[in-house]
Amino acid sequence: MIATPKFDYIAPDEYLTMEEQSETKHEYINGYVYAMAGANDPHVTIALNMALIIRNHLRGSNCRVYMSDMKIRIDLLNRFYYPDVMVTCDSRDTQTQNHKRFPKLIIEVLSKSTEGFDRGDKFADYQQIETLEEYVLVNTKRQRLDSFRRNEEGLWVLRSYSDEQENFQLLSINMEGKFTDLYEDVSFL
């Protein structure tokens, strides 16, 4: 995300209309629109691998997996973001075609330009989503995955996984994955 907004203040409905016609994706924070940068090969490959792993796991369930072209709306904070991968199992999310509001799992693939925001303010914003059970950050520089899970007291607990463990878990969807599958075709430079 870039530091300065592209447009003057606009209402959420105006943003949604503008975004449907735009060739560039924009995130929306309190009435201001921010253009998103493109992603590199490792980022895109990891996001696709993760979405495919999750999709295969959830096949036949009432859950849906979305990739980076689906927005998440955080009504309480007046925000729209494009997570790299998102899972929703809430039937209320079938009522909107261009955004979702009730995710169970959000995954962000880290990049040099967004890591601070993904770990900081964006994570703080995502914590306001009542249905969110797990927030996952996937590293593009080495095989590492950080999973923040909301516990019974409402606190976010970190569990980190690396290639030393071979597998990782996404408890929100009762899934175990392999690092070899997540990082398939990824070259670390």
Average pLDDT of the chain to the nearest whole number: 92
Side chain identity at residue 170, one-letter code: L
pLDDT score for 3: 43
pLDDT score for 1: 43
Q: Lowest-confidence range among 13-22, 63-72, 172-181?
A: 13-22
pLDDT score for 6: 52
| pLDDT tens string 163-172 | 888 999 999 9
Distance between CA atoms of residues 163 and 183, nearest Å = 10
pLDDT score for 8: 75
| pLDDT tens string 105-152 | 999 999 888 898 999 999 999 999 999 999 999 999 999 999 999 999
Total-model pTM: 0.90
Residues 6 or more apart whose CB falls under 8 angstroms from that of 134 comprise 104, 105, 106, 147, 148, 149, 150, 170, 171, 172, 173
Tokens of residue 25, six digits:
């994706």
Q: Does domain 39-182 have CATH number 3.90.1570.10?
A: yes
Distance between CA atoms of residues 108 and 110, nearest Å = 6
Query: Which residues belong to CATH 3.90.1570.10 in the chain?
Result: 39-182
